[in-house]
């Protein structure tokens, strides 16, 4: 079975299971979405959704957020982890949005990745889910599944992203990013499936007997 053959099977199963995957991070506009995605780094979406209502009650736009102290922001977002770094980035990017973008979240990879705390993965999520541009955000979870399913031989998330973009049509990228995440949470968890138990793993590798060993990003 070729990599493209496996990709077709994965796409069909995921599309049937999650035909219209929702965005798991609660938000009400592009700014709140940007902050939520930033906070989700090394943190669960569930935890982020518990924290953001408290933060946005204090400040729901770049202007009001820029007026908060880092200490105040940190006091709210601390449960998300990496608090000092994230609180500094949130305040700084709010100021930059006001100064350089009229308070609006920019709609390009280049401008997004210039913002403090916004890396390529975060920018990809914004471009795909907020602006509808084809992108395939790859975090450690997507990277893990892509390896288990034989869709990449990449040792890092950037190589995995390139590999996934080669074998899936651009019009499917935005949904696939979310479908991978939902399937991983529900059926192919890091410490439960091990490449042996879920329907996709068994369909792609019916003769696999040993625990799949991942290449860490």
Active site residues: 121, 139
Radius of gyration of the chain (CA): 18
3-state helix/strand/coil string of the chain: CCHHHHHHHHHHHHHHHCCCCCCCCCCCCHHHHHHHHHHCCCCCHHHHHHHHHHHHHHCCCHHHHHCCCHHHHHHHHHHHCCHHHHHHHHHHHHHHHHHHHCCCCCCCHHHHHCCCCCCHHHHHHHHHHHCCCCCCCCCHHHHHHHHHCCCCCCCCHHHHHHHHHHHCCHHHHHHHHHHHHHHHHHCCCCCCCCCCCCHHHHHHCCCCCCCCCCCCC
Integer Cα distance of 108 and 29 in angstroms:
17
133 within 8 A of 49, measured Cβ to Cβ: no
129 within 8 A of 174, measured Cβ to Cβ: yes
């Amino acid at each position: 079975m070729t990599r493209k053959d496996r990709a077709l099977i994965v796409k069909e199963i995921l599309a049937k299971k999650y035909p219209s995957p929702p965005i798991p991070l609660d938000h009400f506009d592009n700014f709140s979405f940007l902050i939520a995605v930033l906070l989700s780094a090394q943190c669960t979406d569930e935890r982020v959704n518990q924290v953001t209502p408290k933060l946005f009650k204090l400040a729901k736009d770049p202007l009001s957020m820029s007026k908060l102290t880092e200490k105040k922001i940190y006091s709210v977002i601390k449960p998300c982890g990496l608090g000092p770094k994230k609180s500094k980035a949130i305040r700084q990017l709010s100021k930059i949005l006001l100064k350089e973008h009229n308070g609006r979240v920019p709609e390009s990879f280049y401008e997004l990745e210039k913002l403090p705390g916004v890396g390529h993965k975060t920018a990809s999520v914004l471009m795909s889910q907020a602006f509808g541009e084809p992108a395939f955000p790859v975090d450690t979870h997507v990277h893990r599944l892509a390896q288990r399913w034989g869709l990449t031989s990449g040792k890092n998330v950037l190589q995995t992203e390139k590999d996934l973009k080669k074998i899936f049509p651009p019009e499917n990228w935005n949904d696939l990013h979310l479908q991978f995440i939902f399937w991983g949470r529900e059926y192919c968890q890091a410490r439960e499936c091990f490449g042996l138990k879920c329907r996709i793993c068994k369909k792609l590798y019916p003769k696999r007997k040993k625990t799949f060993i991942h290449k860490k990003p």
